[in-house]
Structure 1
Amino acid sequence: MTADLTRFGRDAVVTTVTQAASVWMSPGTPGERWRQVAELHGRVALAYLAHGEPLLPLVAFTDLLTGPLSGLLPDALREACDEVLLVEDGQLSAAAVDLLMENLAPSMTASDVVGWSVPRLSAEKVQGWLYGQMLATGTEEGYRRARRTVIEHAAGEMSEVIDAIKAAGLPREGLVEEIPAWAWVAHEGEHYWFGCPVCRYPMRYQLGRLACAYPPHTKALGGSITVKAAKGRPPVAGAWNVERAAQLGGPQVTTAVPVKGQVCLVRPAWRYSTIPGCEEVRLHRELEMMPGVTARLWPHVDRYDLEVRAPGRRRPWRVDVKDYTDPARLANELLRRGGIGESDLLIVVPDYRAGHVAVLNERLRFATGSRRRFATTSHRFLTEVKRAAAR
């Protein structure tokens, strides 16, 4: 029964559905796409039967591949976050890519997923490689320097990024790449790119508009950003929500930069180190501004993300910042690692993941038998620390 639950559980079905959407939107021949989608459909159809629901026909399955994720999941496996669209603008949506990356190797592209011979590695293993490279710096201070380098140098001039990586003791190989073509803005024979005002990673350019490859950042900016082009000068980014970008700790500025001589982190390093790191650093900065509060980033070589002490509290908070697209997947990961039931570790999710808190607490309480609070949002945590410090 355990094997069946694993085989037809939420993680497996979400992965299969996002794989199918990726294959369906791939540039392969129609016959090849149908063959591979039919194979994936078989797994989802069995999951429907395993959960006591009517068989989902193949034609209905393919019709739903461009709609919301929820439309393809058995009722028993659905969560509130499943209303995300699988396809947007004729390609796999950013949210679907995120889901796929959380379940498969982040370095896999949509075309890679089509090839069934590619090993199915989890995002944890890619994170583990980078974590190992940071540990190889030899000291806790070296680890912190390496961690900040990956957060603060998501993209930029090649020599500057490479020098920072070398100074932090990290390898260039496998960590950086040229600015991807999907970020290029062509204007008067030159190619430019724009960094996200929150994380500085290259924004995707499509149909005259820019959008961060990380959907919550695009939402925080107030949506995609227009690009204005005038003769004889570089293109200019239109208006965005500067105040909201600042609340997420962003630099608030984005200007056109010629692509030549510029590089960025490979996507998995950006998604699983830069993105959560931005929130960790922002929380640390906010906490350090509170009178009497001390906050330590990545103590004990990142055993957890923050150790926070306040005058009105006897024990420190031990905080782990997590930013997953799928809260059920995160709950399963925490349980798989073990120790979450007995630990007083507090999981903090960014405010844009507020809807995940109830799912995390419910899943972790049920699995561990503990009634303690496992998860909260950044805002609620900061409020809690502020209150303790004021006692």
Structure 2
Amino acid sequence: MGLVERNSHRWRRDLAVTACCAAAVAEADRTGDPGQRAARLIDCLGVLRSTHGAGSAAALDMRALRRGLRQGLTPLLPIEGEGEDPLGEVRLVDSDGLLCDAVEDLGREHFVSQQALMEYWPWARLRAEQEEQQLYSEIRRLPPEDYAKVRELLASHPVAEQGVLWEKWGGLWGRFGFFEPVSSWPWCNAAGWCFPCPVCAWPMRAQPAGGGVFAVSCDAHLLEGAQYTCRQDRGGSGPPVLEGGGCSAGRVEGFPAAGDYLAVSRTVWRYLTLPGRMEFAIRDALTDIAGLEVFMYPEGDRYDLRIMATDPLVAREWRVDAKAWRSFDALADALLERPVLGAAVPLIIVVPHRRRSDLPRLRERLAGRPDLEVMTDKDFVTTVLRWCRAEL
């Protein structure tokens, strides 16, 4: 079995285990809202069916799910090869309909918090939380140089052929489950082709618009002009030609939605690729400025960048943490949960320039935290360059 197949199976099995834990909590609950409980079970059943092949998925219904939770997970987990899954005999709900201790154990091992399970988080939120915790836990164990290399690779090459990724990652390749086969993502398939966003390089969403036409756009960079149309060319051998797009969107070359093309998961894209591209753009804009030193991921990645004035007569330091969250309210909640920083240098939260109209709301939410400042990535670079011209 090749690396792509192994990674795909690991990803599907991880999904299945998480869904089983969530289903067990819903199944054992007899005090909550029955409609919510039923919706959670249906949600988990749909996830489980998606992890199986067409043949075995057809046998998975609500009765099979409830039986598997009580009698053993074997029929609920995707099968790989001839061997038996070591979790196959695990029971998550006992004969009295109560949760088994294995639910908490598996939740911890698969980065699913007990609070998330008990509060009936929607599947998308639960999975995103799980993946974010897992990916940060994995890479923070790396030595500083390898950590910085992984962060830059995830930012600069979020999609490529496996051979290209293998060459760039070197000895780090295969240690992490960041990448998924693009062939398993129907949402970015336009007549058998995918198109990387000209801004972030991740596959853009492709939606049929009727008459053989697809609307192709990036969820994060629509405002930057990453929106196109293309027409299915049944007689051509190459990718369809994208038309339209904003003035800032460059030409895009498609690649086959099959074979060995891999892309980072949506969670990696949202929480590592997008902020990473801001981080390295800031680094590149300030690295060659006389009188400045730029450090990536200092102090064990407590924040993303430290920029320091090297002239001892003009002491100045900036500490930056880049964020590309979709919800600024959720970002404010997360920032307010952080302990107040005792350092004299405030932490500058940098967000994409396209979100500048949302900054007043975020600043209002953080008004009671003088240790936190907020600005866009472009405004931050401009601020530092202006200071350099005035002081150095």
TM (norm. structure 1) is: 0.60
Aligned to 2:321: 320
Q: 1:38, CA displacement in angstroms?
A: 12
Q: How does 1:152-231 map to 2 (within 5 A)?
A: 152-165=156-169, 167-168=171-172, 171-173=175-177, 175-179=179-183, 180-186=185-191, 191-207=192-208, 208-214=213-219, 216-221=220-225, 223-227=227-231, 229=233, 231=235
Query: Among residues 140, 148, 154, which one is paired with 1:150 in the alignment?
Result: 154
Aligned to 1:94: none
Check the 8 A contact 1:276/1:323 in 2, yes or no.
yes
Q: 1:164, CA displacement in angstroms?
A: 4.0
Among the aligned pairs, what percent are the same residue?
A: 27
Looking at both structures, which has the greater relative contact order when contacts are Cα pairs under 8 Å and sequence separation is at least 6? 1
Q: How does 1:77-156 map to 2 (within 5 A)?
A: 121=126, 123-137=128-142, 139-156=143-160
> CA–CA distance in 1 between the matches of 2:281 and 2:330?
25
**Aligned residue type for 2:305:** L
Structure 1: stretches of 5+ with no match in the other structure: 1-33, 41-104, 108-114, 247-251
TM (norm. structure 2) is: 0.60
Taking structure 1 as reference, are residues 317 and 203 closer, same or farther at Cα in structure 2, changes over 3 Å only?
Answer: same
> CA–CA distance in 2 between the matches of 1:118 and 1:269?
17
Q: 1:241, CA displacement in angstroms?
A: 5.1
> CA–CA distance in 2 between the matches of 1:37 and 1:355?
39
Check the 8 A contact 1:298/1:304 in 2, yes or no.
yes
**Aligned residue type for 1:267:** R
Structure 2: stretches of 5+ with no match in the other structure: 1-33, 41-109, 113-119
> CA–CA distance in 1 between the matches of 2:356 and 2:305?
19
Aligned to 2:352: 350
**Aligned residue type for 1:237:** V
2:257 matches 1:255: no
> CA–CA distance in 2 between the matches of 1:204 and 1:117?
22
1:167-206 CA-to-partner distances (Å, cap 9, x unmatched) read 33662446433431222222xxxx2221111222122211
Taking structure 1 as reference, are residues 174 and 290 closer, same or farther at Cα in structure 2, changes over 3 Å only?
Answer: closer
Taking structure 1 as reference, are residues 288 and 228 closer, same or farther at Cα in structure 2, changes over 3 Å only?
Answer: farther
2:268 matches 1:269: yes
**Aligned residue type for 2:308:** R
Corresponding residue SS for 2:196: coil
Q: How does 1:301-340 map to 2 (within 5 A)?
A: 301-310=300-309, 313-340=314-341
1:265-291 CA-to-partner distances (Å, cap 9, x unmatched) read 122112211111111111211122434
Check the 8 A contact 1:149/1:168 in 2, yes or no.
no
1:356-387 CA-to-partner distances (Å, cap 9, x unmatched) read 32122211123x4x4x7611111221111111
Check the 8 A contact 1:211/1:218 in 2, yes or no.
no
Aligned to 1:287: 286
> CA–CA distance in 2 between the matches of 1:156 and 1:227?
24
| The structure with more radius of gyration | 2
